[in-house]
Structure 1
Amino acid sequence: MHTKPEPPEARAALPTGRAALSGLPAARAALRGLPTRLGLLARAGGTGLLALLALPVVLMCACLYVAGFGLPLLTPLLRGVRRLAGAERRRVGVVLGGPPVPEHYRPLDGPLLTRARIALTDPAGRRDLLWLPVHGLSGTLAAVLGLGLTISAVNNLTMPLWWWAVPGRAPSGVGFAVDSWWKAAAMLPIGAAVAVLAVALAAPLLRGQARLTRPLLTPPDGSVVERLAEVTASRAAALDAHGAELRRIERDLHDGTQNRLLAVVLHLGLIERALERDPEQALPLVRRARRAAGDALDELRDVVRGIHPPILAERGLDGAVSALAARCPVPCVVHTAGLTRTPAAVETAAYFVVAEALNNVAKHSRAAHVEVRLTREEDTLVIEVEDDGRGGADEHAGSGLVGIRRRAAALDGRLSVHSPVGGPTRLRAELPCGW
């Protein structure tokens, strides 16, 4: 049986048809990802509007500062700008497919004049002031274009429905008023074309705007002088952490172990008198002395465990953190996949960071769930503790965050806390371990 050969035109058309079919999954993936992209564009528009609103406030505060009246407003205003930039760093990380853009601010601590000096000389803070107008314009324009095309597509595609539901009062189409069925039907192909354009432009708009603002959000490369200042601050933080640790050990020994041992001495004195006068009364005193000695031994073990937990040497950091999570009263999940051994000083600091963070969650957060993640990013150990509690963590309200920051700074590390009122609270500590 002979078959008729296909003409060359038909054979040439086959690859094109296959290419069209192979593009269908990509189109379906683009449609599935459209709600996420629109949400990210809406976030860009929201933070862009906030940046535009913050810009005149910053300029007004600068004028008041020059006039000598804006000093109390400077620190809270720049903290607000830092929070806004932090939200955008997380969004840019999601858009570009990676971790959040790192931040490197100098902590605004100390008296009012000191905080103002730090705020005015911080290079990352100055870059934030440049970022405000750039993101305000680009984020708002990207959101208006992307969301506007989507709204226009929905409006045009639903025009026949509007005309059927409210005849004579349907919304206007593109370029003409809809006052008949054929004009309403004519909006369908226009709406389809606008929808295709909205789907095609959503991802480029997101990536382009994120790439435009990311350099301004990325920490600048520090100069030798700045690096020397950081090392000096790190050394001071290490000395402060060491002094605080010594004072804690001294307090624990004085208030706990010493009192327990004193109780043992008193019981031994009572036993000595009982043996001289009435030996039969000595046995209960011996039991009391034994219990007091056991309590003193437990107290001493707790002090030793607070200096360097033996579980770190026995089970490693992942096992030690899992033990902390098991003792936490709030249900806790630990993620340590792929975690490798790090220097002992880093593991010790990481252990106490997690311990203090979980202690804060149990005491203050009213959370129902908490997650701990430990990962190794090149030469940095990253610790993240996130809970679903009420938020509003204040570093200066006795929440233990000062001690965590001091431990991180002692190793030239960084600590960032994001805790809006209402939650969730996310603590991220970065400890370098490549030295």
Structure 2
Amino acid sequence: MATADVKRLVVGTAMTAAAALGQLVSGLGTAVLAPFVLLWLVLAPGGVGVLHSLAGVERARLARWGPEVVAPEPPPTRLRAALADPTTRRELRWLVRHLAVGLPLGMLGFLLPLVAVRDTAFPLYWRFAPENATATSIGVGNAHSWPDALAVTLLGVGWIAIILGLAPGMARLQAEPGRRLLSAGPDADLSLRIAELTATRAGALDAHATELRRIERALHDGTQNRIVTVTVLLGAARRMVARDPAGADELLERAQSAAEQALAELRTVSRSILPPVLADRGLAGALTGLAAESAVPCSVDVEMSRRCAASVEATAYFVVAEALTNIVKHSGAEQAGVTVRAAGDRLVLTVSDDGRGGADEHGGSGLTGIRHRVAAHDGTLRLTSPTGGPTVVEVELPCGA
């Protein structure tokens, strides 16, 4: 594996683990309130309303870290009606499970980074610690020499490995009861799906209209002007051919040059509609050609056992083309990378760079157009671009038939 690929893998794993820790700690906030809500339900009136409010807070929290949890119709708050209401019973089951599972997982998400930093950095301060003080965060051992201090660092590295390996799974385990018990059920899921498809269709139509306008501008401002120039030059040459053959020959040469430029622009426009290289060389060959033309050095790694639908491959091609254009224009990167993997019936496409980061989807960088193209195929787009980089665009598309 190339050094750049290893770097991207390490950075991606670290960012995933950091996001999982943030999700765990945010879940700790609602889990800490769970025992108080249970006591309120048992000992004081109005506890049902508090339960509904906490469930709403949890739905909003889960939506920040993943797909939206669609809320059901407002459940009753009167005790007798609430006890017979299935939504209230599901919220009560979530409350108990969140207290039993979410609270300890949230505590781990809060404590693991602290003990990892404490043990990893132990050699920096062990000489200033009181004599015979416990050296490790788990309360065992003493450090009397540098080898002892370095051994504590190894424990810190172990904590980091645990975070990288287990934090994403812990976050999913903490969120699972809320996503399952607090959602509105199949009917609401169907309504949400209809709304998503409606929005996707609108986005696809907008993207199609934008593409037509781009092609129209390219033909009007480029090719049409070249052809008009050719017509004017040919007319002038025809009038000059008898009285000034040398001047007419010069005009014909200029007309030929303009005609060649118009032909080149027509080929460029036609390739932007559906690149013939996709049919001739497949997605791997087409992306290799894009990378070769990029002003920023770009590596391409494609692993596909079969071809996808032509429209899917065209979308993947244009996503990479737009992403590489953004990298050249905005990132200040020295290296870019494109990876394509077939995962079951999904095509997973990743474009990354080592630039300055801070990419904004709403800042006119073309990412909105990419999202519309992807959404038209019922795909997903994830953008990770912290300030200072790296920027990673990950797209999943159904392979199609």
TM-score between the two structures when normalised by the length of structure 2: 0.65
Contact kept, 8 Å, 2:361 with 2:367, in 1: the verdict is yes
2:133 counterpart residue number:
171
The one-letter code matched in structure 2 to 1:292 is A
2:233 counterpart residue number:
267
Q: In 2, distance between residues paired with 1:263 and 1:210?
A: 64
Contact kept, 8 Å, 2:20 with 2:168, in 1: the verdict is no
Pairing partner for 1:381 from 347, 352, 360? 347
CA spacing shift, 1:136–1:369, aligned 2, 3 Å: farther
The one-letter code matched in structure 2 to 1:213 is Q
1:361 counterpart residue number:
327
* Structure 1 SS opposite 2:334: coil
Pairing partner for 2:224 from 239, 258, 266? 258
Contact kept, 8 Å, 1:317 with 1:351, in 2: the verdict is yes
The one-letter code matched in structure 2 to 1:276 is A
Pairing partner for 1:300 from 254, 266, 276? 266
Q: In 2, distance between residues paired with 1:141 and 1:262?
A: 72
The one-letter code matched in structure 2 to 1:295 is Q
CA spacing shift, 1:358–1:208, aligned 2, 3 Å: closer
Measure how far apart 1:304 and its partner are: 0.7
* Structure 1 SS opposite 2:241: helix
Within 5 Å, which residues of 2 pair with 1:33-432? 48-49=24-25, 85=65, 103-104=66-67, 137-143=103-109, 169-171=131-133, 209-210=170-171, 212-213=173-174, 215=176, 223-432=189-398
CA spacing shift, 1:323–1:172, aligned 2, 3 Å: closer
* Structure 2 SS opposite 1:223: helix
Q: In 2, distance between residues paired with 1:40 and 1:232?
A: 31
**Unmatched segments (≥5 aa) in structure 2:** 1-12, 33-59, 74-90, 137-141
Contact kept, 8 Å, 1:318 with 1:339, in 2: the verdict is no
Measure how far apart 1:147 and its partner are: 6.9
Contact kept, 8 Å, 1:142 with 1:206, in 2: the verdict is no
* Structure 2 SS opposite 1:403: helix
Measure how far apart 1:169 and its partner are: 4.1
Q: Write out per-residue CA displacement over residues 330-357 of structure 1, whole angstroms, 9 at most, x where no aligned residue.
A: 1111110235211111111111011000
Tell me which structure has the larger Cα radius of gyration: 1
RMSD over aligned Cα, in angstroms?
Answer: 4.7
Measure how far apart 1:270 and its partner are: 1.4
Q: In 2, distance between residues paired with 1:249 and 1:359?
A: 17
Q: In 2, distance between residues paired with 1:225 and 1:354?
A: 33
How many pairs are equivalent?
319
Measure how far apart 1:421 and its partner are: 1.4
CA spacing shift, 1:353–1:281, aligned 2, 3 Å: same
The one-letter code matched in structure 2 to 1:430 is E
The one-letter code matched in structure 1 to 2:202 is A
Contact kept, 8 Å, 1:392 with 1:419, in 2: the verdict is yes
Higher alpha-carbon deviation: 138-147 or 314-323:
138-147
Q: In 2, distance between residues paired with 1:393 and 1:312?
A: 29
Contact kept, 8 Å, 2:312 with 2:400, in 1: the verdict is no
CA spacing shift, 1:50–1:241, aligned 2, 3 Å: same
Q: Write out per-residue CA displacement over residues 233-260 of structure 1, whole angstroms, 9 at most, x where no aligned residue.
A: 2222222222111111111110000001
Q: In 1, distance between residues paired with 2:15 and 2:374?
A: 35
Measure how far apart 1:47 and its partner are: 5.2
Q: In 1, distance between residues paired with 2:398 and 2:323?
A: 19
* Structure 1 SS opposite 2:231: helix
The one-letter code matched in structure 2 to 1:229 is A
**Unmatched segments (≥5 aa) in structure 1:** 1-36, 57-77, 86-102, 107-117, 122-126, 175-181
CA spacing shift, 1:363–1:55, aligned 2, 3 Å: farther
Q: In 2, distance between residues paired with 1:277 and 1:429?
A: 64
The one-letter code matched in structure 2 to 1:171 is A
Measure how far apart 1:46 and its partner are: 5.5
Contact kept, 8 Å, 1:391 with 1:419, in 2: the verdict is yes
Q: In 2, distance between residues paired with 1:38 and 1:327?
A: 32
Q: In 1, distance between residues paired with 2:14 and 2:228?
A: 69
Percent sequence identity over matched residues? 43
The one-letter code matched in structure 2 to 1:248 is R
Q: In 1, distance between residues paired with 2:178 and 2:239?
A: 75
CA spacing shift, 1:319–1:242, aligned 2, 3 Å: same
The one-letter code matched in structure 2 to 1:306 is S
